[in-house]
Structure 1
Amino acid sequence: MLQDSGDAGENTEFTAPRDPVGVTASAVKPAIDFESPRYRDMIGRSLLNKGNNVRLKRAIEKAKNGEPVVIAYIGGSITHGAGAVPIHLQCYAYRSYESFKFMFALSKDSPIHLIKAGVGGTPSELGIVRYDRDVLRGGAVQPDIVIIEFAVNDADDETQGKCYESLVLKALTADNKPAVILLFSVFENDWNLQDRLAPVGWHYDLPMVSVKDAVVDQFNKTKGEGNVISKKQFFHDIYHPTNIGHRIMADCLEYLFDVTNRSEWDEKDHDIEKAPLIGNEFVNVKLLDRKNGNHIARIDAGSFCKTDTDLQMVEMDAHDYGTPQFPNNWMRTGEGKEDQSSFRICLQCKRLILIFKDSGNDEFGTAHIKVDGVFVQKVDPHQVNWTHCHATLLLNEEHVGEHSIEIEMAEGHEHKCFTILGFGYVD
């Protein structure tokens, strides 16, 4: 479950991570000088905020003392490692984890562990639902450092930042007091949601690293004007970094680690008692799926009685194999003379998020959602036409009450498939 890099000797003999054969810096035209002052200046511009350093310094000291340290990453496809080859070893998460170990661990046997929980195409609205499962591993893990990367995914967050701040607070208020770092990645068109999300970091004085601030300004300069890397070198496609792009992201995090290590300890920890900036309504969200659902709610699955095994797959931690997302689901296949009855669930809650499967398969169809007998929305699994997890908000009330949700196929789609992956609920 937890991964050690396992490839370092004593600190004096460490070998820093390098790009694999075929995508080394020397193979890039023009070559990038990773040791140049211009490169270091570019990396330095990524430090949006040093933030309160008490928790991060505590994690660094634990590593120096040979104590266990867990570094966790949660985000979208960039955190998953999209664009990196091989994805599990050249993604920014693994590389920055290795850098942390290289910088501070006593030996190759030092217990520095990696949790990587990036899921492509998903916002913090889904991240908050899966945090307990994918980062805390159901309570088995207490990370010392949590790095949150949703700056290019949260356009799809219906709560406009409330789920993001709730996720930040869920990590920040944990009993073991982990360091929380906000990471702002960027698309090829120079876009991200840093303007919306960074104020959350300023509010709680969190360390913040902006890849956008590091690279965007120099993209449009000539070499004589200060260009270090081109967009073609940094981006694998319009969304994801190349191996070199992932290395730059890791170097930006390494710079924060180094600055923090060289700084004096701040006197006080974060002030987490202050009122939220955007909203904290989803801090206590929990996952309900087929595994635990009957212990939480009254469920009549109706024709949604099968289990979908064709799911979004994600290479988690340092694994080179995919892990299916939301395997404990409810699926209707629409085959033959199958029962056409709807899915019904009744539970006590005040907020409810539906997670369903998007698909490019024509056999999947549109469903209608009713809450307390009233139609609220239709959900179309072909909005993006590839297999991944889709979160949509069904209910957001001030007070807990008993609510019934009915999911039925839309007219003309009665013989189509649809998969309910699970729910996120606040009770």
Structure 2
Amino acid sequence: MKFDKSKRKFLITVKRGFPMTDHPAASTNEARGPAAPRDPENRREDDQAAEDMIDPPVDFEGQSYRDMVAKSLLNRGNNKRLKAAIEKAKRGEPVTIAYIGGSITHGAGAIPLPVNGYAYRSYDLFRKRFASSEGSPIRLIKAGVGGTPSELGIVRYDRDVLRDGTENPDIVVVEFAVNDAGDETRGNCYESLVLKALGGDSRPAVILLFSVFLNDWNLQDRLAPVGWHYDLPMVSIKDAVVEQFSLARDQGGVISKRQFFYDIYHPTNSGHQIMADCLDWLFEVTDRSAPDEEDVLTDQPPLIGNDYVQTRLLDRQNVDRIAQIDTGGFRETDTDLQLAEMDDHDYGTPQFPHNWMHTAGSGEGHFTMTIRSKRLILVFKDSGSSDFGSAEIRVDGKHKLTADPHEVNWTHCSAVILYDEPESGQHTVEIRMAAGSEHKRFTILGFGYVL
């Protein structure tokens, strides 16, 4: 496997079922991981059975398993909000559990994905543990999109979690511990997302979940201090499983890496079950603990930053209320988009359908947008198709970057910050096809803006 840091590009060869330790994050001290690991393809139902033929079956009922799961509880945190959600469920009242993250939250590696990913499994465990009857209104919102960091999550939150104001979750699980290596803000977007969730009208409990890659890497050291800062419940899959990976079964080993990981990024069904059981352990511990009287303190100074809390999505659907645009040659709408199975759906939902696309026949006209804001994030489409080319991005007449959809090289949503300023001001953004790409395609999926 080769990694070009200048282009954030990975060329990976994976032999199913064998640990890969030669990628850039092979050392747990390595600061960066892959920018956009994609969902695995061709997942077969017999994969897990094949792993169990090589390694001893996992004893999900044994004491060693329970001890391993208990190690995942990084912080019980202030339990006032989570206790409130649990008590609502016990009374038979509606409770909504939301999950936002990358491909692991999406359910990658699980089969069938809609019901065997950790999000659905942990929601189902919560429902079975606390619902007063089989028909109790415990609801699931799953908003995992493969290969995307909190820099994109902050843009998606209102749309994908709050469903544009129609939902008010009682619990929000945030999982970006293996997706934020490419976060330009190095934690500011993550903390902003946490605060955005905490500040919701329903005052939801926010749980920070730290998944892990096959090489034992994640960004827990960067992101967990945010949880400590606000005393939030935190669950670390890394803390639960990594130490025991090196142990034989008679020494306390519970599951092998071969059994836990489908590939170098994503869990198998067994891995997803462990993640769900770790969240369920938090639910159990919280249920039997005395309630905290005081709520989480969110009005204190941020640990890393809160500059992106007020980020909103701008796309073709609402742009006229926010900015002035001339679409130029970007007048078409792209329908070949990244798909994600949301909630418990068995079908994919197109991501950022209200977009602007330049095509081979669009001509040389460029996209121009004038907007008053402090911060602006561009979301554009990556693609593995040779029909797509690069675009030059200018802000206030100055070259900002050249957006290359082939850096990641699969159909994927890519976010990049165009400007970040302390005061709101009027800015003009121009997007035109780069030299040599005039007759290629390029898709502007949308923008995230802070007024």
Tell me the secondary structure at the aligned position of residue 71 of structure 1.
strand
Q: 2:124 aligns with which of 87, 98, 116?
A: 98
- Per-residue CA deviation, residues 18-63 of structure 1 (Å, 9 max, x unaligned), is xx89847995531111111110000000000000000000000000
Q: 2:258 aligns with which of 227, 232, 253?
A: 232
Q: Is 1:356 aligned to residue 359 of structure 2? A: no
Hey, what does 1:146 align to over in structure 2?
172
Give the Å deviation of 1:285: 0.5
Hey, what does 1:89 align to over in structure 2?
115
Hey, what does 1:60 align to over in structure 2?
86
Distance in 2, matches of 1:21 and 1:358, equals: 32
Hey, what does 1:70 align to over in structure 2?
96
Tell me the secondary structure at the aligned position of residue 250 of structure 2.
coil
Hey, what does 1:17 align to over in structure 2?
none
Q: 2:188 aligns with which of 127, 139, 162?
A: 162
Divergent runs of 4+, >4 A: 20-28
Hey, what does 2:338 align to over in structure 1?
312
Hey, what does 2:225 align to over in structure 1?
199
Q: TM-score, normalised by structure 1?
A: 0.93
Hey, what does 1:394 align to over in structure 2?
418
For residues 13-412 of structure 1, the aligned pairs below 5 Å read 23=48, 27=52, 29-335=55-361, 338-412=362-436
Given that 1:25 and 1:31 are in contact with CA atoms closer than 8 Å, whether structure 2 keeps it comes out as no
Given that 1:371 and 1:405 are in contact with CA atoms closer than 8 Å, whether structure 2 keeps it comes out as yes
Distance in 2, matches of 1:315 and 1:108, equals: 25
Give the Å deviation of 1:104: 0.2
Distance in 2, matches of 1:163 and 1:301, equals: 29
Identity %: 66
1:80 is matched by which residue type in structure 2?
H
Distance in 2, matches of 1:271 and 1:59, equals: 18
Q: Larger deviation: 145-154 or 291-300?
A: 291-300
Given that 2:48 and 2:259 are in contact with CA atoms closer than 8 Å, whether structure 1 keeps it comes out as no
Hey, what does 2:14 align to over in structure 1?
none
Tell me the secondary structure at the aligned position of residue 276 of structure 1.
coil
Given that 1:346 and 1:402 are in contact with CA atoms closer than 8 Å, whether structure 2 keeps it comes out as yes
Given that 2:51 and 2:258 are in contact with CA atoms closer than 8 Å, whether structure 1 keeps it comes out as no
Give the Å deviation of 1:250: 0.1
Give the Å deviation of 1:339: 2.1
Query: Which consecutive unaligned segments of at least 5 residues does structure 2 have?
Result: 1-44
1:199 is matched by which residue type in structure 2?
P
Distance in 2, matches of 1:176 and 1:354, equals: 29
Q: TM-score, normalised by structure 2?
A: 0.89
1:170 is matched by which residue type in structure 2?
K
Distance in 2, matches of 1:167 and 1:155, equals: 16
Distance in 1, matches of 2:187 and 2:48, equals: 37
Query: Which consecutive unaligned segments of at least 5 residues does structure 1 have?
Result: 1-19
2:80 is matched by which residue type in structure 1?
V
Hey, what does 1:10 align to over in structure 2?
none
